[in-house]
Amino acid sequence: MSEGKAREHVLVVGGSSGMGLAFAERLLTSGAAITIVGRSSERLSRAREKLGNAPGLQMVAADATREDDVERLFASVGEVHHIVSTAADVGGVYVPLSEMNVSTARRVIDSKVVAPLLLAKHGAPRLTGPGSITFTSGIAAYRPAPKGSVVAAVNGAIESLVYALAVELAPIRVNAVSPGWVDTPIWDSVAGEGKAGALEAMAKRLPVGRIGQAGDIAQAIESVMRNGFISGTVIHVDGGQRLV
């Protein structure tokens, strides 16, 4: 970082675990200032411990699905260069349509559609540079599975939102990274004890011959964030899953 130049500040929503945490760790090593946002103070504390209380790291407990929390968040964090959200609350949603609980579906919609809308609404005026906003969608938008109608719907919605926001918020760049099957803690709630078997079976199907890791997605998010000529785009990081 050159003398007199402000340290790059990246806001990572959902960064207390999985892909978001891997991304935060990657950016910290390059000297960026990182603010990790999550709902659980306990998980934020664990993330801080994992990241070793790195210089330039701060944690903020906030619920991105609540507009008052998002307003307070951006009022408190100061100048922001980029916003990244990997947050998703999909526990208990993989059920047959006949058993779907509407309140559970609304929780998923809030985490994957409403939260990004609020982050864009209140975050865009705070961005400098002109900055960028990056969300995560997912393979379910292209390869929906039985019992996964809600997840397929929200992933498709976030990608359409990206197209619209890239036009409305220009010159702020807005993009999405669409992961395939990635070995992160979210699989513990999705598959439970069947996690290892499910991931192994998918690895055998994929052209790349393996399941994704959180670092694969973190690398893709950074690439999109830093490329000033990418906007309104969905980057697929799925090991070729859309082809099989």
Question: Does residue 244 sit within a domain?
Answer: no
Per-residue pLDDT of 26-40, as tens digits, reads: 999 999 999 999 999
Per-residue pLDDT of 186-219, as tens digits, reads: 777 666 777 889 899 999 999 999 999 999 999 9
191 vs 181: CA distance, rounded Å = 12
Per-residue pLDDT of 80-128, as tens digits, reads: 999 999 999 888 888 999 999 999 999 999 999 999 999 999 999 999 9
Local confidence band at 1 (pLDDT 50, 70, 90 cut-offs): very low
Q: How many domains does the chain fold into?
A: 1
Local confidence band at 55 (pLDDT 50, 70, 90 cut-offs): confident
The pLDDT score that the predictor gives to residue 2 is 43
Per-residue pLDDT of 122-179, as tens digits, reads: 999 999 988 999 999 999 999 999 999 999 999 999 999 999 999 999 999 999 999 9
Question: Does residue 108 sit within a domain?
Answer: yes
130 vs 216: CA distance, rounded Å = 26
Over the Cα atoms of the chain, what is R_g? 17
CATH code of residue 55:
3.40.50.720
Question: Does residue 197 sit within a domain?
Answer: no
Question: Does residue 142 sit within a domain?
Answer: yes
Q: Does position 4 have pLDDT exceeding 70, yes or no?
A: no
Question: Does residue 194 sit within a domain?
Answer: no
Question: Does residue 192 sit within a domain?
Answer: no
Question: Does residue 38 sit within a domain?
Answer: yes
Spatial contact of 171 and 130, defined as CB atoms under 8 Å apart: yes
What is the domain extent for residue 89?
9-186+213-238
Q: Is 169 helix (H, G, I), strand (E, B) or coil?
A: coil
Phi (first) and psi of residue 219, to 5 degrees: -65, -40
Mean pLDDT of the region 59-74: 98
Phi (first) and psi of residue 75, to 5 degrees: -70, -20
Question: Does residue 232 sit within a domain?
Answer: yes
